[in-house]
Amino acid sequence: MGSANLDLTTCRKNSIIIKTVVRITQKWVRRFFVDKYRTFLQVVSAGSFSSASRLMGVAPSSVSRQINDLEDDLSVQLFHRTTRKLSLTEAGQIFHERTLKIILDLDEARLAVSQLGAPSGVLRVSVPSGIGRELVISVVPAFLAEFPGIKIVVSMTDEIIDLVEDRVDVAVRIGELGDSTLRARKIVECRRLICASPQYLKKAGVPKTPSDLHQHSCLTWREHPGYNVWQFRHKGRTQDVRVSGDFFARSADLLTAAAVAGMGFVLIPDLIMGYELRQKQLKPVLTQYQPVPATSTLWALHSHQRQVPPKVRVFIDFLVAQLSKAKYI
Protein backbone atom coordinates (compact mmCIF):
# COMPACT_ATOMS: atom_id res chain seq x y z
CA MET A 1 0.00 0.00 0.00
CA GLY A 2 2.83 2.34 0.92
CA SER A 3 4.57 1.52 -2.33
CA ALA A 4 1.38 2.28 -4.31
CA ASN A 5 1.05 5.67 -2.59
CA LEU A 6 4.71 6.40 -3.34
CA ASP A 7 4.24 5.51 -7.01
CA LEU A 8 1.14 7.72 -7.20
CA THR A 9 2.98 10.63 -5.60
CA THR A 10 5.91 10.15 -7.96
CA CYS A 11 3.57 10.07 -10.97
CA ARG A 12 1.91 13.28 -9.86
CA LYS A 13 5.27 14.99 -9.39
CA ASN A 14 6.45 13.76 -12.79
CA SER A 15 3.22 15.00 -14.36
CA ILE A 16 3.69 18.45 -12.83
CA ILE A 17 7.30 18.55 -14.00
CA ILE A 18 6.34 17.48 -17.53
CA LYS A 19 3.56 20.07 -17.75
CA THR A 20 5.91 22.78 -16.48
CA VAL A 21 8.60 21.84 -18.98
CA VAL A 22 6.04 21.77 -21.82
CA ARG A 23 4.66 25.17 -20.81
CA ILE A 24 8.14 26.73 -20.58
CA THR A 25 9.15 25.10 -23.87
CA GLN A 26 6.02 26.37 -25.62
CA LYS A 27 6.62 29.86 -24.30
CA TRP A 28 10.29 29.73 -25.36
CA VAL A 29 9.47 28.39 -28.82
CA ARG A 30 6.72 30.95 -29.31
CA ARG A 31 8.96 33.84 -28.25
CA PHE A 32 11.88 32.43 -30.24
CA PHE A 33 9.97 32.20 -33.49
CA VAL A 34 7.92 35.39 -33.04
CA ASP A 35 11.13 37.36 -32.53
CA LYS A 36 12.56 35.88 -35.71
CA TYR A 37 9.40 36.72 -37.62
CA ARG A 38 9.51 40.31 -36.39
CA THR A 39 13.16 40.59 -37.39
CA PHE A 40 12.32 39.23 -40.84
CA LEU A 41 9.51 41.79 -41.27
CA GLN A 42 11.77 44.61 -40.07
CA VAL A 43 14.44 43.68 -42.64
CA VAL A 44 11.85 43.67 -45.43
CA SER A 45 10.51 47.06 -44.32
CA ALA A 46 13.95 48.65 -43.85
CA GLY A 47 15.43 47.20 -47.02
CA SER A 48 18.70 46.01 -45.48
CA PHE A 49 20.14 44.21 -42.48
CA SER A 50 22.06 47.29 -41.33
CA SER A 51 19.00 49.58 -41.49
CA ALA A 52 16.91 47.00 -39.65
CA SER A 53 19.55 46.66 -36.94
CA ARG A 54 19.60 50.44 -36.38
CA LEU A 55 15.82 50.56 -36.04
CA MET A 56 15.83 47.57 -33.69
CA GLY A 57 18.77 48.82 -31.65
CA VAL A 58 20.80 45.62 -32.08
CA ALA A 59 24.02 44.66 -33.85
CA PRO A 60 23.83 43.83 -37.58
CA SER A 61 25.35 40.44 -36.80
CA SER A 62 22.36 39.65 -34.56
CA VAL A 63 19.91 40.44 -37.36
CA SER A 64 21.92 38.42 -39.87
CA ARG A 65 22.12 35.46 -37.50
CA GLN A 66 18.35 35.45 -36.89
CA ILE A 67 17.61 35.54 -40.61
CA ASN A 68 20.10 32.74 -41.27
CA ASP A 69 18.56 30.66 -38.48
CA LEU A 70 15.09 31.29 -39.88
CA GLU A 71 16.16 30.20 -43.36
CA ASP A 72 17.74 27.08 -41.86
CA ASP A 73 14.54 26.32 -39.94
CA LEU A 74 12.44 26.69 -43.11
CA SER A 75 15.02 25.06 -45.40
CA VAL A 76 14.49 27.85 -47.96
CA GLN A 77 16.25 31.05 -48.97
CA LEU A 78 14.15 34.10 -48.10
CA PHE A 79 16.38 36.83 -49.58
CA HIS A 80 18.44 37.39 -52.70
CA ARG A 81 21.65 38.94 -51.34
CA THR A 82 24.03 41.09 -53.36
CA THR A 83 26.51 43.75 -52.30
CA ARG A 84 24.11 46.48 -53.45
CA LYS A 85 20.64 45.07 -53.07
CA LEU A 86 18.50 42.89 -50.86
CA SER A 87 15.28 41.46 -52.31
CA LEU A 88 12.81 38.73 -51.47
CA THR A 89 12.84 35.37 -53.20
CA GLU A 90 9.53 33.83 -54.28
CA ALA A 91 9.50 31.85 -51.04
CA GLY A 92 10.33 35.05 -49.16
CA GLN A 93 7.38 36.88 -50.71
CA ILE A 94 4.98 34.10 -49.70
CA PHE A 95 6.46 33.93 -46.19
CA HIS A 96 6.27 37.73 -45.83
CA GLU A 97 2.59 37.81 -46.73
CA ARG A 98 1.68 35.06 -44.26
CA THR A 99 4.01 36.23 -41.49
CA LEU A 100 2.75 39.81 -41.67
CA LYS A 101 -0.81 38.59 -41.06
CA ILE A 102 0.33 36.44 -38.12
CA ILE A 103 2.18 39.30 -36.43
CA LEU A 104 -0.66 41.75 -37.05
CA ASP A 105 -3.11 39.31 -35.48
CA LEU A 106 -0.81 38.83 -32.48
CA ASP A 107 -0.42 42.60 -32.06
CA GLU A 108 -4.17 43.11 -32.32
CA ALA A 109 -4.79 40.45 -29.69
CA ARG A 110 -2.28 42.08 -27.34
CA LEU A 111 -3.73 45.52 -28.06
CA ALA A 112 -7.28 44.34 -27.42
CA VAL A 113 -6.23 43.09 -23.99
CA SER A 114 -4.21 46.22 -23.21
CA GLN A 115 -7.23 48.41 -23.93
CA LEU A 116 -8.91 46.99 -20.84
CA GLY A 117 -6.56 49.10 -18.72
CA ALA A 118 -5.73 52.81 -18.63
CA PRO A 119 -3.70 54.13 -21.61
CA SER A 120 0.00 54.18 -20.85
CA GLY A 121 3.46 54.26 -22.38
CA VAL A 122 5.63 56.72 -24.28
CA LEU A 123 3.79 58.72 -26.97
CA ARG A 124 6.02 60.14 -29.70
CA VAL A 125 4.50 63.15 -31.46
CA SER A 126 5.80 65.09 -34.45
CA VAL A 127 4.58 68.65 -35.02
CA PRO A 128 5.50 71.51 -37.39
CA SER A 129 7.66 74.23 -35.88
CA GLY A 130 4.83 76.75 -35.88
CA ILE A 131 2.48 74.56 -33.87
CA GLY A 132 4.73 73.08 -31.20
CA ARG A 133 4.49 75.93 -28.71
CA GLU A 134 0.70 76.25 -28.96
CA LEU A 135 0.37 72.49 -28.55
CA VAL A 136 2.40 72.59 -25.35
CA ILE A 137 0.45 75.57 -24.00
CA SER A 138 -3.09 74.48 -24.90
CA VAL A 139 -3.02 70.69 -24.88
CA VAL A 140 -0.11 68.87 -23.27
CA PRO A 141 -0.44 69.92 -19.57
CA ALA A 142 -4.15 69.03 -19.41
CA PHE A 143 -3.59 65.80 -21.32
CA LEU A 144 -0.83 64.60 -18.99
CA ALA A 145 -2.95 65.47 -15.99
CA GLU A 146 -5.81 63.34 -17.33
CA PHE A 147 -3.59 60.45 -18.46
CA PRO A 148 -0.72 60.20 -15.93
CA GLY A 149 0.41 56.85 -17.33
CA ILE A 150 1.51 58.45 -20.62
CA LYS A 151 4.78 60.27 -21.26
CA ILE A 152 5.08 62.53 -24.33
CA VAL A 153 8.14 63.03 -26.52
CA VAL A 154 7.65 65.90 -29.01
CA SER A 155 9.82 66.52 -32.06
CA MET A 156 9.40 69.59 -34.26
CA THR A 157 10.04 69.50 -38.00
CA ASP A 158 8.53 70.97 -41.14
CA GLU A 159 9.89 68.11 -43.25
CA ILE A 160 7.97 65.06 -44.46
CA ILE A 161 8.86 62.10 -42.26
CA ASP A 162 8.33 58.34 -42.29
CA LEU A 163 6.26 57.66 -39.17
CA VAL A 164 7.22 53.98 -39.05
CA GLU A 165 10.94 54.45 -39.64
CA ASP A 166 11.14 57.44 -37.27
CA ARG A 167 9.04 55.62 -34.65
CA VAL A 168 6.45 58.41 -34.45
CA ASP A 169 3.02 57.59 -33.02
CA VAL A 170 1.18 60.74 -34.12
CA ALA A 171 2.11 63.45 -36.60
CA VAL A 172 0.22 66.75 -36.45
CA ARG A 173 0.19 68.57 -39.78
CA ILE A 174 -1.55 71.63 -41.19
CA GLY A 175 -2.78 72.31 -44.72
CA GLU A 176 -3.32 69.97 -47.66
CA LEU A 177 -2.21 66.36 -47.33
CA GLY A 178 -0.50 64.42 -50.08
CA ASP A 179 -1.33 60.86 -51.09
CA SER A 180 -0.43 58.53 -48.27
CA THR A 181 -1.24 55.19 -46.67
CA LEU A 182 -1.44 56.96 -43.29
CA ARG A 183 -4.76 57.37 -41.55
CA ALA A 184 -5.77 61.01 -41.09
CA ARG A 185 -8.30 62.61 -38.78
CA LYS A 186 -9.27 66.25 -38.99
CA ILE A 187 -8.69 68.08 -35.72
CA VAL A 188 -9.96 71.57 -36.50
CA GLU A 189 -10.26 74.22 -39.20
CA CYS A 190 -7.84 77.05 -38.35
CA ARG A 191 -8.92 80.53 -39.41
CA ARG A 192 -6.34 82.40 -41.49
CA LEU A 193 -5.79 85.98 -40.27
CA ILE A 194 -3.83 89.04 -41.35
CA CYS A 195 -2.05 90.41 -38.30
CA ALA A 196 0.52 92.97 -37.27
CA SER A 197 1.88 94.27 -34.00
CA PRO A 198 0.28 97.30 -32.31
CA GLN A 199 3.53 99.26 -32.70
CA TYR A 200 3.65 98.61 -36.45
CA LEU A 201 0.01 99.68 -36.86
CA LYS A 202 0.69 102.84 -34.85
CA LYS A 203 3.67 103.68 -37.05
CA ALA A 204 2.40 102.61 -40.50
CA GLY A 205 -1.36 102.88 -40.09
CA VAL A 206 -4.21 100.38 -40.36
CA PRO A 207 -5.15 99.24 -43.89
CA LYS A 208 -8.81 99.81 -44.80
CA THR A 209 -8.90 97.54 -47.86
CA PRO A 210 -6.63 94.76 -49.20
CA SER A 211 -5.31 97.19 -51.83
CA ASP A 212 -3.77 99.24 -49.04
CA LEU A 213 -1.35 96.37 -48.41
CA HIS A 214 0.65 97.61 -51.41
CA GLN A 215 1.91 100.38 -49.13
CA HIS A 216 2.92 98.06 -46.30
CA SER A 217 5.62 95.55 -45.44
CA CYS A 218 4.22 92.03 -45.73
CA LEU A 219 6.14 89.06 -44.33
CA THR A 220 5.97 86.07 -46.66
CA TRP A 221 7.21 82.54 -47.24
CA ARG A 222 8.98 83.10 -50.55
CA GLU A 223 11.43 85.70 -51.73
CA HIS A 224 10.31 85.48 -55.36
CA PRO A 225 7.81 88.35 -55.85
CA GLY A 226 5.73 86.42 -58.37
CA TYR A 227 4.62 83.97 -55.68
CA ASN A 228 3.57 86.52 -53.07
CA VAL A 229 -0.06 87.04 -53.95
CA TRP A 230 -2.64 87.21 -51.21
CA GLN A 231 -6.20 86.56 -52.32
CA PHE A 232 -9.36 87.92 -50.67
CA ARG A 233 -13.10 87.47 -51.08
CA HIS A 234 -15.58 90.21 -50.17
CA LYS A 235 -19.28 90.48 -51.06
CA GLY A 236 -18.98 87.72 -53.63
CA ARG A 237 -15.96 89.22 -55.40
CA THR A 238 -12.38 87.91 -55.36
CA GLN A 239 -9.36 90.18 -55.36
CA ASP A 240 -5.67 89.32 -55.81
CA VAL A 241 -3.14 91.52 -54.04
CA ARG A 242 0.57 91.28 -54.82
CA VAL A 243 2.45 91.94 -51.58
CA SER A 244 6.10 92.57 -50.79
CA GLY A 245 8.39 93.20 -47.86
CA ASP A 246 11.95 93.03 -46.58
CA PHE A 247 11.74 89.75 -44.67
CA PHE A 248 11.09 86.20 -45.90
CA ALA A 249 11.11 82.90 -43.98
CA ARG A 250 10.16 79.30 -44.51
CA SER A 251 9.04 79.03 -40.91
CA ALA A 252 5.73 80.14 -39.44
CA ASP A 253 7.46 80.65 -36.10
CA LEU A 254 9.93 83.12 -37.62
CA LEU A 255 7.21 84.97 -39.50
CA THR A 256 5.21 85.30 -36.30
CA ALA A 257 8.28 86.53 -34.40
CA ALA A 258 9.00 89.07 -37.14
CA ALA A 259 5.44 90.38 -36.95
CA VAL A 260 5.66 90.71 -33.16
CA ALA A 261 8.92 92.64 -33.65
CA GLY A 262 7.01 95.21 -35.70
CA MET A 263 8.34 94.23 -39.13
CA GLY A 264 4.98 94.03 -40.93
CA PHE A 265 1.91 91.91 -41.68
CA VAL A 266 1.59 88.14 -41.70
CA LEU A 267 -1.16 85.97 -43.16
CA ILE A 268 -1.14 82.63 -41.34
CA PRO A 269 -3.54 80.38 -39.36
CA ASP A 270 -4.70 81.68 -35.97
CA LEU A 271 -3.49 78.56 -34.15
CA ILE A 272 0.12 79.38 -35.02
CA MET A 273 -0.28 82.87 -33.53
CA GLY A 274 -2.40 81.66 -30.62
CA TYR A 275 -0.13 82.85 -27.81
CA GLU A 276 0.59 86.22 -29.46
CA LEU A 277 -3.10 86.87 -30.13
CA ARG A 278 -4.09 86.08 -26.56
CA GLN A 279 -1.31 88.34 -25.24
CA LYS A 280 -2.38 91.15 -27.62
CA GLN A 281 1.08 91.11 -29.18
CA LEU A 282 -0.58 90.81 -32.60
CA LYS A 283 -3.77 92.43 -33.80
CA PRO A 284 -5.96 91.17 -36.70
CA VAL A 285 -6.90 93.61 -39.48
CA LEU A 286 -9.18 93.48 -42.56
CA THR A 287 -11.40 90.97 -40.76
CA GLN A 288 -14.33 91.86 -43.02
CA TYR A 289 -12.34 90.49 -45.97
CA GLN A 290 -12.01 86.71 -46.17
CA PRO A 291 -8.63 85.31 -47.20
CA VAL A 292 -8.70 82.57 -49.83
CA PRO A 293 -8.64 79.91 -48.55
CA ALA A 294 -10.35 81.11 -45.38
CA THR A 295 -9.04 78.25 -43.25
CA SER A 296 -6.24 75.71 -43.04
CA THR A 297 -7.05 72.22 -41.80
CA LEU A 298 -5.15 70.76 -38.85
CA TRP A 299 -4.70 66.98 -39.11
CA ALA A 300 -3.60 64.12 -36.89
CA LEU A 301 -1.86 61.30 -38.78
CA HIS A 302 -0.92 57.81 -37.65
CA SER A 303 0.18 54.59 -39.31
CA HIS A 304 -2.12 52.08 -37.57
CA GLN A 305 -4.45 50.52 -40.14
CA ARG A 306 -6.52 48.33 -37.85
CA GLN A 307 -6.39 48.52 -34.06
CA VAL A 308 -5.30 51.96 -32.84
CA PRO A 309 -3.24 51.90 -29.62
CA PRO A 310 -5.09 53.45 -26.67
CA LYS A 311 -2.43 56.14 -26.11
CA VAL A 312 -2.78 57.25 -29.74
CA ARG A 313 -6.58 57.17 -29.72
CA VAL A 314 -6.99 59.19 -26.51
CA PHE A 315 -4.39 61.76 -27.59
CA ILE A 316 -6.10 62.44 -30.92
CA ASP A 317 -9.50 62.61 -29.21
CA PHE A 318 -8.05 65.09 -26.73
CA LEU A 319 -6.57 67.23 -29.52
CA VAL A 320 -9.97 67.45 -31.20
CA ALA A 321 -11.77 68.29 -27.95
CA GLN A 322 -9.29 70.96 -26.83
CA LEU A 323 -8.47 72.72 -30.09
CA SER A 324 -11.98 72.72 -31.53
CA LYS A 325 -13.08 75.02 -28.68
CA ALA A 326 -9.99 77.25 -28.65
CA LYS A 327 -10.61 80.98 -29.16
CA TYR A 328 -7.87 83.41 -30.16
CA ILE A 329 -9.71 86.67 -30.93
- Residue-wise pLDDT tens digits, 241-259: 999 998 998 888 899 999 9
191-294 and 123-188+297-323 share a CATH fold:
yes
What Cα–Cα distance (Å) separates residue 260 from each residue in 30, 175, 183, 200? 60, 23, 36, 9
Residue range 198-224, pLDDT digits in tens: 999 999 999 999 999 999 999 998 765
Please name which of 285, 278, 222 lies closest in space to residue 255, comparing C-alpha atoms: 222
Q: Is the per-residue pLDDT at 176 higher than 70?
A: yes
Helix (H, G, I), strand (E, B) or coil at 148: coil
Rounded to whole angstroms, the maximal C-alpha distance in the chain is 112
pLDDT at residue 2, as a whole number: 47
CATH 3.10.250.10 assigned to 123-188+297-323: no
Spans of all domains in the chain: 2-114, 123-188+297-323, 191-294
- Kindly indicate whether the domain formed by 191-294 is annotated with CATH number 3.40.190.10: yes
The Cα-based distances of 297 to 175, 187, 267, 320 in angstroms read 5, 8, 15, 12
Could you tell me which residues come within 8 angstroms of residue 264 by beta carbon, excluding any fewer than 6 positions away?
Answer: 196, 200, 216, 217, 218, 219, 245, 246, 247, 258
Q: What's the rounded Cα separation, in Å, for the pair 173 and 226?
A: 26
Strands 170-174, 121-127: pairing is parallel
What pLDDT does 226 receive? 53
Give me the pLDDT at residue 145, please.
Answer: 95
Residue 53: band (very low, low, confident or very high) from pLDDT cuts 50, 70, 90: confident
Q: Which overall architecture, per CATH, does domain 2-114 show?
A: Orthogonal Bundle (1.10)
Q: Which residues contact 148 (CB under 8 A, 6 or more apart)?
A: none
For the whole model, what pTM was predicted? 0.67
